[in-house]
Amino acid sequence: MLPFYDIIVVGAGHAGCEAAAAAANLGSKTLLITMDLNKVAQMSCNPAIGGIAKGQIVREIDALGGYCGKITDLSSIQFRMLNRSKGPAMWSPRAQCDRMRFSENWRDQLEQIENLDFWQGTVQHLLFEDKRIVGVRTELGVEFKAKAVVLTNGTFLSGLMHFGKVQLEGGRISEPTSLGITEQLKSLGLHADRMKTGTPVRIDARSVDFSVMTAQGGDEEDEMRKFSYDPDVVSSLTQKPCYITYTNPDVHGELEKGFEDSPMFDGTIESTGPRYCPSIESKLVTFSSKNQHQLFLEPEGETTIEYYLNGFSSSLAWDVQLAGLKKVAGLENVRILRPGYAIEYDYFDPTQLFHTLEVKELENLYFAGQINGTTGYEEAGAQGLMAGINAHQKINNKEEFVLGRNEAYIGVLIDDLVTKGVDEPYRMFTSRAEYRILLRQDDADVRLTQKSYDLGLASDRQLELLNEKVSLRDKVIEFCNHYSIKPKYINDWLKSVGTSPLKQGCKLINLILRPQLSIFTLKEAVPALQSLFDEMPENRRNEIFEAAEILMKYSGYIEREMAIADKLKRLEHINIFNKFDYESIHTLSTEARQKLTKINPQTIGQASRISGVSPSDINVLLVLLGR
């Protein structure tokens, strides 16, 4: 007889893995069902984790007790901190990974979780009792019963791939599509639609002339080259460079020969693709005046010959792609391992979800990842983590776990989805967050680890590392606030680095606040500061000094942003869920009545962020509430 589970997770991509790990680590008996157990957490597209705003999400996943950051660190073959020339609110870590090791490391971690079972198969039917999910049925007719189910189907729901005129059903190249779930959920009243994404050609490195390309390496060894806040989790793999090359008019001419048969232009593909990551053919049309487009050749692993050509997503026929590539500098003799392709798939309007990612109309059913109209490993992993946590909380009658927009990029992500919905594949950007200076990549542990520990997810070690970091950080700040600097000991050095000398003594913090100086350069001139640096744990020195410097340099901005967030937070506690028949409130605008009826927001704060709901509409609701 099959066991009864607390939670079933369908799909073992980035969302599914985080969901299953979180639920099981919290104590729920969990089953992870996937089509192929050899492709757990597969990097279907580029072999990289992080990037602008995405890197912050990965740090938040790690701070909450998720796995993505640790797996990335163990699999990393290059690490870079993007946007270093800007303020710390914009710094975003990014790592190239060994794609095969990434999947292997994920499976290894999952197999060590005591409460987690696995089943290889395809879920074709969901089992309900009065609009409450109670289990799933696979293609073999095997039924598994559970208290809650998390769907993380990625691009597999009715997946259709495009290679020029050729169309193949599948959720990923050489992998079958998933049929049945979309139709069943639509019959239960949910709204579904189609989206498109794409992936570039893969190239044989032995056929590439790297000498005519520009090498792009990772950060230096003394940087904090990792995602996880655990200093003991590090990559042992050889670090590898990426390479930059460009398209040119000859490339464009070859590609344009295939436009007539392109599914992007002949009406075959009607769904919406990611505007921020267009296909190469879309770039040639949208930016027709440009003579070149940048391409990044990225290694898929430490030892493999397979390279990923970032910037060359395409649904053109394979021979058109190859002809165009042969006109690129360094790729004149290129051999490809597989062509790029576009893929269309089903997703569900995320405004049909609560902030917990539970479906409003179907109790104990949760959605996470691309099924919600998002794109990206990081966005998927974050949703999976939160869905897994909240499924566990719900079936155990515990308080829901929801992060605010001022607490995490994960909070911004989920609030955007359930409040605003999507009209294209959703990707996180720093510009989507109102409180960027509060949501930095360096302090995700400070913001979130205690919250997760209180839930029972973050480990004792994580809390110990956090407390150590905060204690040592504050020690550095206190030292800088009290240590006095005299002009005669520092002025020559200040002149040598191009900043004005002191006219009188000051505290060390006054020099740190100068934009031309940093706490790291000041170590050269202040022996006591160097001594304090040397006292820090060797594998955390940079992390602690950087955290201290950010708080000192940007304290005014941080305090101001916190005050604004606190002022607006009161709106998040005014509950309006199911309190109004919006269609009967004629003092609301027509658009507001329609949007509020559709989304049925939980709070005044959420209502205020719905597109089409004006401040005057919010005032009407507040008056009706007697406020």
- The tens digit of pLDDT for each residue in 586-612 reads 999 888 999 899 999 999 989 989 888
In the chain, helix, strand, coil percent, each to 5? 40, 20, 40
Distance between CA atoms of residues 489 and 26, nearest Å: 56
Among residues of the chain, what percentage have pLDDT more than 70? Answer: 99
163 and 339 Cβ atoms separated by less than 8 Å? yes
State phi, psi for 359 to the nearest 5 degrees: -70, 130
Give the Cα separation of 585 and 581 in Å (integer). Answer: 7
Tell me what pLDDT residue 627 has: 64
- Report pLDDT digits (tens) over 315-349: 999 999 999 999 999 999 999 999 999 999 999 99
At 269 the pLDDT is 84
Q: In a 3-state reduction of DSSP, which class is residue 385?
A: helix
| Torsion angle in degrees (nearest 10) through CA of 27, 390, 569, 69 | 70
pLDDT classification of 224: cutoffs 50, 70, 90: low
Residue 564 has pLDDT above 90, yes or no: no
Neighbours of 220 (CB within 10 A): 7
> Which segments of 205-322 are extended strands (E)?
214-216, 242-246, 294-299, 306-313
Q: Is the pTM of this model over 0.85?
A: yes
Task: For residue 239, give both structure tokens.
Answer: 């670090």
| Nearest Cα residue to 414 out of 354, 365, 466 | 354
What pLDDT is attached to residue 566? 85
- Of 277 and 596, more confident: 596
Instruction: Return the number of other C-beta atoms located less than 10 Å from residue 226's C-beta.
Output: 24
* pLDDT, average across residues 215-243: 87
On whether the CB atoms of residues 369 and 380 are closer than 8 A, the answer is yes
Amino acid 61: pLDDT: 98
Report pLDDT for 222.
55
Instruction: Answer yes or no: are the C-beta atoms of 184 and 153 closer than 8 Å.
Output: no
Bridge partner residues of 342 (DSSP): 162, 198
Q: Going by C-beta distance under 8 Å and a sequence separation of 6 or more, which residues neighbour residue 591?
A: 612, 613
Lowest mean pLDDT among 96-100, 222-226, 359-363, 499-503: 222-226
5: part of which helix (H) or strand (E)?
A: strand 5-10
pLDDT digits (tens, 9 = 90+) for 81-113: 999 889 999 999 999 999 999 999 999 999 999
Tell me the C-alpha distance between 506 and 393, whole Å. Answer: 53
Q: 104-157: per-residue pLDDT in tens? A: 999 999 999 999 999 999 999 999 999 999 999 999 999 999 999 999 999 999
Cβ-contact 132, 147 below 8 angstroms:
no
